[in-house]
Amino acid sequence: MNQNDIITRMNEKFSGMSKGHKAIAAYIFDHYDQAVFMTAAKLGETVGVSESTVVRFAMALDYEGYPQFQETLEEWVKNKFNKVQRIGARYGGSSQSEILTDVLNSDIDKISDTLQNLDPAAFETAVDIILNSKTIYIVGIRSCEPLADFLSFYLNMIRGNVCLLRTTSVSEMFEQMIRIDEEDAIIGISFPRYSMRTLKAMEFANDRNAKVITITDSVHSPMNLYSSCNLIARSDMVSIVDSLVAPLSVINALVVALCLKRPEEVRKNLETLEDVWNNYQVYLNDEINFIDEEPILNYSLRKDES
């Protein structure tokens, strides 16, 4: 038994867990640094289940009992927190240019791997779902939030009725998507450590018969539990920072494909935005225009004043 695969094991077994076991797993996903110090009784009290349920949870993951489970979790947490030390060992003698080259080459490998393994049929399905759904909900938490922002920004240019879920709790998230139904779709973006808030939103959407699209890193990701359209993009920890280059490339490809499907609508939307920007002088105060090779700030205003 690999003693460092405890999170992967919980991910793989999550779909078949009871409600109580899912609650325990969800808490550990989000609070592993606290759970590692808890007794079975304390963990049960915190989650709202019995001590015996916690013990059965550990045994359902093929551990002899809770002590072995806790020991394995402790080892996993130690490895997690030792990443900074390992990065120092890896890059300690490297120059800045060598670090730059190594990190960029690592990202190139991730994009190449994503290109080889992403299912073209799933990509086509995602494009069709996004175009044909009444409302598109997008959710990305923590480090995935910039990806969700980026996708939401461009989808709003391509089509209407795009809802970016912003929340710090599951209950608030449900409030924002309370009207989701079979005519709608949700796009969930999550990578290790997977967000249980994102997973709960996707579960809720699936229960309401909405279409579910995932952007995640593996076929074993729990994000795939409620989705029939999975866009797999490799994302590894090259340092203490998540590498999200490949997922961003997949999102770029989605945006381009969507634009090509509805070029006239996109053109009209952009022309409307341009008119609005011009009419309300949106960019006069914070953009630099290069005219006759000179950077001019607030050019039209200066011209009027002269």
CATH of the domain at 67: 1.10.10.10
Nearest alpha-carbon partner for 212 in 60, 204, 20, 67: 204
**Per-residue exposure over 94-112, b if at least 16 CB sit within 10 Å of its own CB, e if not:** eeeeeeeeebeeebeebbe
Same domain, 50 and 167: no
Same domain, 253 and 141: yes
Does some domain include residue 172?
yes
Q: What residues make up the domain containing 66? A: 6-81
Does some domain include residue 74?
yes
Tokens at 276, concatenated:
């609005």
Same domain, 209 and 289: no
Helical axes 245-261 vs 96-117, angle rounded to 10°: 50
Same domain, 130 and 221: yes
Cβ neighbours, 10 Å, residue 277: 13
Tokens at 216, concatenated:
């995640």
pLDDT at 123: 93
Tokens at 225, concatenated:
């539990």
pLDDT at 299: 39
Same domain, 62 and 179: no
pTM above 0.75, yes or no: no
Does some domain include residue 98?
no
pLDDT at 295: 41
CATH number at residue 232: 3.40.50.10490
Same domain, 75 and 157: no
Identity of the amino acid at 144: C
Residues 6+ apart with CB under 8 A from 20: 47, 49, 53, 57
Same domain, 241 and 191: yes
Does some domain include residue 187?
yes
DSSP 40-75: HHHHHHHHTS-HHHHHHHHHHTT-SSHHHHHHHHHH
Same domain, 16 and 131: no
pLDDT at 3: 42
Domain count, the chain: 3
pLDDT at 88: 53
Identity of the amino acid at 261: K
pLDDT at 190: 86
Q: What is the mean pLDDT of each run of 10 residues along the chain (306 residues)?
A: 64 83 85 85 91 92 90 80 53 66 78 85 93 92 87 86 80 84 92 79 89 86 82 69 82 89 78 68 53 42 43
Distances (CA, A) of 289 to 273, 277, 284, 300, 301: 18, 14, 9, 10, 13
Same domain, 154 and 288: no
Same domain, 146 and 253: yes
